[in-house]
Amino acid sequence: MEMRLPSWNHLVLALTVIVYLCLFFLIPWRFQTNDDVIIMWLVSGAYTGVSETYAVFIHPYLSWSLAQIYDAYPQFNWYGLSWYITISISVVLVLNRILSDIASPKWKAFWASFIFLLGFHFCLFPQFTLVAGLAGYSGMYCLSGNRRNYLEKGISIILIVTGVMIRWESVALVMIGWVWSSFIFSIDNRKVLFQNLLLVVAIFLTLLGLKLDYEQRFVEQDFLAFNKARAGVIDHPVFVESIRNEEISRESDWFYYGRWMFEELPIDIERLKSKKIELDKQLYTWKELKNGLQRIIRVQLTELFKSMMILILFFGVIRSSWKLDRKLLYLVVWLIFYLIFNHYNLLLGRVNLLFFLVFLFPILKKPETEKPSKFIIPSVLVLWTFLGIHAFNFWKEALGREKINKEFYFLFEKKEENSPLFLEGFFEYNYMESFNKLEPVPALTYGWISNSPFQRKAFELRGFENLNELESYSLIAFQFPEPLVFPDYIQRLGSKYEVKSEFELENLRILNFLKVR
């Protein structure tokens, strides 16, 4: 019997998975934002000493499952591995469609390279909003069409379920783009679209219903109410702009609130609701319309990789073989939707990328033009060159983090015994260590975890109940020229502190504070 060699397509798919998993095990990748870090600390027990079954942003059934795994095997990064597996399966599913469905070898090479590069970036800087969106897109894209590949459809449904459980809002945005793309370009006939949409909506309603039921039965309702009110203010575009432009006095509670320092401040739910009403009124001004447009430019100039990917997606829609009037209608309406959404919400680079990731629905259905451009192959080479530059820049950033971590642990030894440690300017994603309940996080954090049952557990684990009763504390901060904010925030809670000792290094410094009697 002759042994059949795997096809070229299968080799590409296998190599993709191997590369992504090698990134997980062999390089010092980091989460893009603090949110993932704190969620991971909660489900692993690294922050509170107990594997938390509820972690706010992700579905409680997912956080419960991760908590059980961490209880059994606490010293492995299961949270990160889960995201890498999701990214790998999502990319492989889309790649398989590209390699088998696109006829033009040039366009096949281009869009396969694009998807690989996108997944590669997500592996360097995983972020749950983007991971959920990618899973949702991959699932819906491969659910479409009349192919009778039941394994592919089964994996597609699993990816949609996974995406909704990671972050349902991301998948909802992708679903809107999917429906809009199908409506304008007739990607599927109406019957197939309706059946698939009905399935996705059923998944949404089921999982959201289970989430609400869990929260009603097992989560403190006061915390849920505060967390919702908190997000309505601290993520409000008007409030963020006022903090950025230093329009709020240092004497105001909102000055500290805007820097995520609000544990024990006299800001309750009613005050937050009143503040949101005040902020909403300011949205209907020319100033905020201008701020919204400037924010888009500022964000995209800050996150150039995502900006490049978005430009490629625009290029893909324009170069696709759909009718010109259909393409113009599609782009104009979606851009209007994006601008309106941006005006009322604080959109960062990751959400902007997700907004335009949906362009892949029409692009990958009809990428060919009658005369394939002679610039496609050079463009593929540019993509791979950009991948090399991106990897090099990542490595430089990782070396910088390594240096910062060495300074951090040197200064940690200078901390006063029994004094809790806080951070200012040192983001949680800078840690290169993997913590768990056997090796807890060395410092306390603040932000959305403040005023929560998790924060109370973390305080108790470290021997105190509230910030105002601290006899001493330590603070590690970056060497910024601006005055520190955290010491003023702590004193605002009622007690006075003075610096007992201070040590400085090139990038970081530690200050040990003692309560004044």
What gap in Å lies between CA 126 and CA 15, rounded to an integer?
Answer: 20
pLDDT averaged over every residue in the chain = 92
- Neighbouring C-alpha atoms within 13 Å toward the C-beta of 387: 17
For 220-246, the pLDDT digits (tens) are 999 999 999 999 999 999 999 999 999
What gap in Å lies between CA 190 and CA 187, rounded to an integer?
Answer: 9
Name the nearest CA neighbour of 138 among 189, 85, 185.
85
What Å distances lie between residue 69 and 3, 81, 179, CA to CA?
Answer: 40, 12, 37
Would you say residue 380 has pLDDT above 50? Answer: yes
- Write b or e for each residue in 45-73: b if 16 or more Cβ atoms lie within 10 A of its Cβ, otherwise e: bbbbeebbbbbbbbbbebbbbbbebbeee
Which letter does DSSP use for residue 469 in this model? G
Residue 496, SS3 per DSSP: coil
**Are 159 and 93 spatial neighbours (Cβ–Cβ below 8 Å)?**
yes
Token representation of residue 373: 């451009």
The residues, any chain, with a CB within 8 Å of residue 204's CB and separated by 6 or more, are 164, 168, 171, 172, 175
Q: Give mean pLDDT, residues 323-327.
A: 92
Q: Give the domain ranges of the chain.
A: 8-30+77-216+289-372, 220-284, 416-515
What gap in Å lies between CA 257 and CA 370, rounded to an integer?
Answer: 57
What gap in Å lies between CA 397 and CA 304, rounded to an integer?
Answer: 15
What gap in Å lies between CA 120 and CA 22, rounded to an integer?
Answer: 11
Residue 107's pLDDT is 86
Confidence of residue 256 (pLDDT cuts 50, 70, 90): very high
What gap in Å lies between CA 81 and CA 296, rounded to an integer?
Answer: 32
Give this prediction's pTM: 0.94
Which letter does DSSP use for residue 514 in this model? E
| Rg for the chain, CA atoms, rounded | 25
The residues, any chain, with a CB within 8 Å of residue 39's CB and separated by 6 or more, are 55, 56, 57, 58, 63, 79, 128
For 183-209, the pLDDT digits (tens) are 998 777 778 888 899 999 999 999 999
What gap in Å lies between CA 10 and CA 427, rounded to an integer?
Answer: 40
For 288-322, the pLDDT digits (tens) are 999 999 999 999 998 888 999 999 999 999 988 88
Residue 147's pLDDT is 67
Q: Give mean pLDDT, residues 53-73.
A: 96
Q: How far is CA 290 from the centre of its chain?
A: 26
Confidence of residue 9 (pLDDT cuts 50, 70, 90): confident
Residue 372's pLDDT is 57
Residue 210, SS3 per DSSP: helix
Would you say residue 130 has pLDDT above 60? Answer: yes
The residues, any chain, with a CB within 8 Å of residue 250's CB and separated by 6 or more, are 488
Q: Give mean pLDDT, residues 68-97.
A: 96
Would you say residue 112 has pLDDT above 90? Answer: yes
